[in-house]
Amino acid sequence: MVKRNLILAFESSCDETSVAVIEDGHRVLSNIVATQIASHQRFGGVVPEVASRHHIEQITKCTKEALEQAGVSYQDLTAVAVTYGPGLVGSLLIGVTAAKTIAWAHQLPLVPVNHMAGHLYAARFVSDFTYPMLGLLVSGGHTELVYMKEEHDYQIIGETRDDAAGEAYDKVGRVMGINYPAGKTVDQWAAKGHDTFNFPRAMEKEDNFDFSFSGLKSAFINTVHNADQRGEVLDKYDLAASFQQSVVDVLVAKTIRALDEFPVKQLILAGGVAANQGLRKQLSAGLQAKHPEVQLLQAPLKYCGDNAAMIGAAGYVNYLHGDRADGSLNAVPGLSFAHLKEEN
């Protein structure tokens, strides 16, 4: 009988406590997620101290539940994988400490995982990866284009210069009276409206693959405030549609340009904002029109947000490549992939 590779994975980078058991890098035996949204809603966003306390309360419960649901014990495990960055330092430390403790107590290899690699590997539950690949990572904290020449090799070719796309969604949502997190509601409202406000598409035509969303956010807020001062009522569906169209146009245009310059076999769409229906549809249509030879892998909706299943999938690859950590592993809140070197 072939030995199963079972990874116990931890994810606690922001406001979700998650523990999963993954078999051979692509089969989810369990994926427990304890969300904290209700605790952060009254503040309009994630409060780091509140998030850390929740992680402490939930991490042992989630671990017990993940093992029980998977029907495995610590003795069955091959390794322990954990997100060590990027993220909120207090939140990351809870997952890192839990993973280190279990790895030490049960003499298991400890595998450190970059949270963003985890997001990319959420698409591994859809299909095997064929290299070279490109990843469009869009979330609350990050917006970046990542080139993967081969397995276990990640290079940033473009990223946001200021706000992440998901962050902009939450901020404009707040202006429209939508509770945190606003992305899903803005997406739903956008489907009922039209792009009548013609907000700016920052850096869309610039000769690079970087993004900027702070100008769009300011234009949106100014439009709403000016209307309020004049006593005008703006159509919320048209506002949402105009904002979303501006974001999606830039994301898709830059991704298509990157595909022109970097011939790849597959394109991954992942991260929290990858659940956005407007983005999914337009990226899919753009790919069909300009690069039909590239296969689009969209992370399953249930694995777009933060979860430990994706960390287990990425952790399995790291494990095979010999990535190991010891008791000195620490949280690295500003962790990032390397940037593509000019000579490439």
Tell whether the torsion through CA atoms of 308, 310, 313 and 317 is positive or negative: negative
3-state secondary structure labels for all residues of 180-204? CCCHHHHHHHHCCCCCCCCCCCCCC
State whether residue 19 is helix, strand or coil: strand
**pLDDT tens-place string over residues 126-135:** 999 999 999 9
Q: What's the predicted TM-score (pTM) here?
A: 0.94
Q: What is the pLDDT of residues 60-111, one digit of tens each?
A: 999 999 999 999 999 999 999 999 999 999 999 999 999 999 999 999 999 9
pLDDT tens for each residue of 282-335: 999 999 999 999 999 999 999 999 999 999 999 999 999 999 999 999 999 999
Which pLDDT does position 285 carry in this prediction? 98
Give the C-alpha separation, 254 to 282, whole Å: 13
What pLDDT, in 10s, does the model give residues 13-68?
998 999 999 999 999 999 999 987 777 777 777 778 888 998 999 999 999 999 99
Domains with residue ranges and CATH for the chain: 6-120+304-339 (3.30.420.40), 131-298 (3.30.420.40)
Residue 182 has pLDDT above 80, yes or no: yes
